[in-house]
């Protein structure tokens, strides 16, 4: 094994809560099963901000966030079989896993029971910190690299690597499709993809947002209905309505009221996570045999399936393309929900 590394430009948070600034980081030499990716675009996920500001604790600094990566392969290791130089590829939230546990064998690397290696703010199998997509290049094992179909532009494909798969996976698992009524809570980066994907799957989609401010957007993204959760009448009008509610918000919700909008056997799935524990009255589940569930990103095979599905249906993220020197400003705007609907960094500006 070679230990030769290269040094590449990146944007990093030098310490928790510090603004991100331009720096350089090491990338490992291209190993036998690795691909070197020239990153073209990197999406800004809300969880980047959580971690750069150490909201979940135990951050590794300096931190280069970014797990919505789209680029082009520029070098392949001698053992690489699935990719060639020039291929358009993506990398999401994980860059490795144990590969031998039951979940890994089933393609559910996101639930690796031995702990997977996250794309940034983690330690790889050699104990080296991982650095994410706010950078010009990344070296990733081909097993954690996915193909971006030609029908998808790389800039609008980047956010699919987290926002896309995080919503696609539960929508598929809970069978969103024709004849199903699906509610999407929150119309942000994740929510807008949930609306697009659920609609493309054939479900009848309702957006549940705090206000009606983005109603026109929601309807044009594919929702048939749009309700404000700030209006108490919404919960009464929609009682017992949905087969599936996908919550994309990280603010704590009044769960009992949301669960009351499920049909018998309906499920409410959370892909957003508040920092504090939540409470609910279990009778909200018992009456109607309802399910309250969570779901995290998706495995590598499903991530490829999602990209193929999105290409087939012409689904990219709605993005605002920014320069790297606008990252800190973009973070402030994400925290104010002032983005339609994903910031994407043009990494040529790093
Ligand atoms: Zn993310
Ligand atoms: Zn595993």
Spelled out in words, what is the top-level CATH class assigned to the domain 164-294? Answer: alpha beta
- Residues measured by CB to lie within 5 Å of ligand 2, the ion: 97-98, 101, 104, 112, 114
End-to-end distance of the chain based on CA atoms, in angstroms? 30
CA of 106 to the centre of ligand 2 (A): 9
CATH 3.90.180.10 fits 5-162+298-349, yes or no: yes
CA of 68 to the centre of ligand 2 (A): 22
**Closest ligand (CA of 115):** 2
Tell which residue, 105, 135, 100, 102, has the closest CA to residue 119: 135
Whether the Cβ atoms of residue 312 and residue 151 lie closer than 8 Å to each other: yes
**Closest ligand (CA of 68):** 1
Location of each CATH 3.90.180.10 domain in the chain: 5-162+298-349
What integer pLDDT is reported at residue 55 of this predicted model?
66
Using alpha carbons only, give the angle 44, 46, 50 rounded to the nearest 5 degrees: 115
What integer pLDDT is reported at residue 1 of this predicted model?
43
Tell which residue, 126, 133, 118, 7, has the closest CA to residue 58: 118
CA of 287 to the centre of ligand 1 (A): 34
CA of 6 to the centre of ligand 2 (A): 29
CA of 34 to the centre of ligand 2 (A): 19
Q: Can you give the pLDDT of all 350 residues of the chain as single tens digits?
A: 445 799 999 999 999 999 999 999 999 999 999 999 999 999 999 999 999 997 667 799 999 999 999 999 999 999 999 999 999 999 999 999 999 999 999 999 999 999 999 999 999 999 999 999 999 999 999 999 999 999 999 999 999 999 999 999 999 999 999 999 999 999 999 999 999 999 999 999 999 999 999 999 999 999 999 999 999 999 999 999 999 999 999 889 999 999 999 999 999 999 987 878 999 999 999 999 999 999 999 999 999 999 999 999 999 999 999 999 999 999 999 999 999 999 999 999 99
For the chain, the maximum distance between any two Cα atoms, rounded to a whole number of angstroms, is: 64
Name, in order, each residue with C-beta under 8 angstroms of 82's C-beta and a sequence gap of 6 or more. Answer: 142, 145, 147
The rounded distance, in Å, linking the Cα atoms of 206 and 169 is 18
Kindly list the distances between the CA atom of residue 90 and the CA atoms of 12, 144, 156, 291, in Å, as whole numbers in the listed order. Answer: 21, 9, 12, 33
**Closest ligand (CA of 94):** 1
CA of 161 to the centre of ligand 1 (A): 8
Cβ atoms within 10 A of the Cβ of 311, count? 18
């Amino acid at each position: 094994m070679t230990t030769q590394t290269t040094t590449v430009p990146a944007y990093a948070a030098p310490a928790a809560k510090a603004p991100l600034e331009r720096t350089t980081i090491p990338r490992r030499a291209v190993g036998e099963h690795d691909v070197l990716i020239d990153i073209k675009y990197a999406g800004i996920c809300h969880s980047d901000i959580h971690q750069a500001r150490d909201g979940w604790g135990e951050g590794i600094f300096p931190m280069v966030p970014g797990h919505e990566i789209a680029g082009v392969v520029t070098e392949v290791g001698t053992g690489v079989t699935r990719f060639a130089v020039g291929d358009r590829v993506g990398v999401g939230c994980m860059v490795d896993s144990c590969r031998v546990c039951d979940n890994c064998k089933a393609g559910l690397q996101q639930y690796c029971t031995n702990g997977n290696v996250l794309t940034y703010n983690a330690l790889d199998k050699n104990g080296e910190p991982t650095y994410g997509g706010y950078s010009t290049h990344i070296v990733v094992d081909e097993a954690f690299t996915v193909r971006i179909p030609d029908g998808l532009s790389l800039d609008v494909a980047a956010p699919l690597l987290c926002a896309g798969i995080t919503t696609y996976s539960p929508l598929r698992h809970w069978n969103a499709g024709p004849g199903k009524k699906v509610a999407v809570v929150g119309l942000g980066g994740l929510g807008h993809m949930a609306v697009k994907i659920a609609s493309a799957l054939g479900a009848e989609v309702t957006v549940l947002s705090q206000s009606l401010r983005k109603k026109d957007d929601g309807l044009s993204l594919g929702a048939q209905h749009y309700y404000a959760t700030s209006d108490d009448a919404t919960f009464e009008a929609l009682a017992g309505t949905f087969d599936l509610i996908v919550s994309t918000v990280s603010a704590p919700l009044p769960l009992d009221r949301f669960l009351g909008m499920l049909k018998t056997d309906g499920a409410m799935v959370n892909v957003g996570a508040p920092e504090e524990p939540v409470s609910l009255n279990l009778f909200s589940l018992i009456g109607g045999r309802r399910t309250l569930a969570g779901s995290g990103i998706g495995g590598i095979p499903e991530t490829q399936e999602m990209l193929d599905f999105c290409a087939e249906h012409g689904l990219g993220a709605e993005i605002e393309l920014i320069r790297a020197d606008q990252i800190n400003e973009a973070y402030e705007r994400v925290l104010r929900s002032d983005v339609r609907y994903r910031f994407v960094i043009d990494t040529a500006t790093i």
